[in-house]
Structure 1
């Protein structure tokens, strides 16, 4: 079955499988959103079936919650959990300091709330997500629908004084209608090209009326697990200052690969 996967999906799979091993019995775990995070949920469900571990998951979107329930994972809300042992999620970009751009899937608000309510955040990604400088991937910001065009204008005016390459922003669409987040908001994608000072930009954007949250995750990620198409997995721990490398063998798994829709 793994032979049918594309190289990018192989990389996502091995990263997710490695990170799934960080989950211990009895933990409360934040479950991310996106294609790589979907691999994680499947790997965790497989561990439950094969090893008998039990944990409770706090999903960062309705689609992650639906997948987790479908695979038999106990789902609870963040209010029920209060605090999490671990959150595992994907990223659209990460740099050497493990600062991130997230929100390509539109769940950045819940993702940031869950990640910051955790003892540790682990990012799982394929090697293509690593960049020297954040900003090539459009930076998502969540804005309330009321006066979103005014918010957009204020954002673009603010970007004039920021250390960025571009200042164009676009409303994210879902077909002919604006994309709507789980909280009923819209997403503006900022096409910046390069972000010279991500920390400053994250602080400034959140001061603009109408902006709920931005997709810059600064000083939140503790470890990144990077998958490669040949099965190599590299784990970087920003706190311990360590880099470890493992080689993962691909195995057939009907449970893991059935009904793939990601």
Structure 2
């Protein structure tokens, strides 16, 4: 088995392991990203087989909308429900306290709303996403209203961050989020206090939300490939 095949199979295993934790009758937050896509596909298979019944999904991105419909998962909105039973989503970094950096897909604002409302939030990642300290390998995304991106970048620099406007791939100009905003990616030399930094960034006028997810994760499912064989392990508080 090639390394690429093993990695793909590992993501499928992690996605299925998370989907298997969804019970019939649940309202499910459906995350964004490659591993979450396998989770959505697995949920669809469980519905089709009759193993799972009467679930509805709430997506965190347009990508999730498309995938859920492709796999026959009924969708609802936050206007129509008063709670979310379980949310499943990926992450770009996970620290030992199960705090996260998310936003590689520019969907972190909707993800934080959905994941934060869930009674149980499960994160699906591969082992490369585990870090000793947030910001070690991944820039911190900050969603900002377009008119405010310049003053927000100056404010972030005063906090010691090195901001850069995320530019589109196969698109001229900046990345535009599902809310019609820009994303600033920020390099901090060290994120020693993610709780305080999350609040400080969100208090800058023009910032909608940032990619620090603090004290919201209940369980992390980690996919690994050892000796060419994929496996899944659990990390919980």
Q: Does 1:103 align with 2:97?
A: no
How big is the alpha-carbon RMSD for the aligned residues of Structure 1 and Structure 2?
1.5
Alignment TM-score, normalising by the size of structure 1? 0.84
Map of 1:15-34 to 2, 5 A cutoff? Answer: 15-34=14-33
d(CA) in 1 for partners of 2:166, 2:56: 32
Query: Which of these residues, 182, 188, 193, is aligned with residue 192 of structure 1?
Result: 188
Q: What's the CA shift string for 1:131-159, capped at 9, x where partnerless?
A: 011102000010001121111111111x2
Map of 1:39-118 to 2, 5 A cutoff? Answer: 39-54=38-53, 55-118=55-118
Tell me the equivalent position of 1:221.
217
Alignment TM-score, normalising by the size of structure 2? 0.93
d(CA) in 1 for partners of 2:109, 2:213: 11
d(CA) in 1 for partners of 2:166, 2:213: 20
Secondary structure in structure 2 of the residue aligned to 1:12: helix
Is the Cα contact below 8 Å between 2:19 and 2:42 reproduced in 1?
yes
Tell me the equivalent position of 1:181.
177
d(CA) in 2 for partners of 1:6, 1:210: 43
Q: Which runs of 5+ in 1 are unaligned?
A: 161-166, 239-262
Q: Tell me how many residue pairs correspond in the alignment.
A: 230
Secondary structure in structure 2 of the residue aligned to 1:203: helix
Map of 1:122-141 to 2, 5 A cutoff? Answer: 122-135=122-135, 136-141=137-142
Is the Cα contact below 8 Å between 1:41 and 1:67 reproduced in 2?
yes
d(CA) in 2 for partners of 1:189, 1:7: 31
Tell me the equivalent position of 2:157.
156
Query: Which of these residues, 166, 169, 181, is aligned with residue 172 of structure 1?
Result: 166
Q: CA deviation at 1:203?
A: 1.2
Is the Cα contact below 8 Å between 2:175 and 2:182 reproduced in 1?
yes
Q: Which runs of 5+ in 2 are unaligned?
A: none
Secondary structure in structure 2 of the residue aligned to 1:105: coil
Is the Cα contact below 8 Å between 1:15 and 1:225 reproduced in 2?
yes
Tell me the equivalent position of 2:148.
147
Q: CA deviation at 1:235?
A: 1.2
d(CA) in 2 for partners of 1:216, 1:186: 17
Misfit runs of 4+, over 6 Å: none
Q: CA deviation at 1:196?
A: 1.4
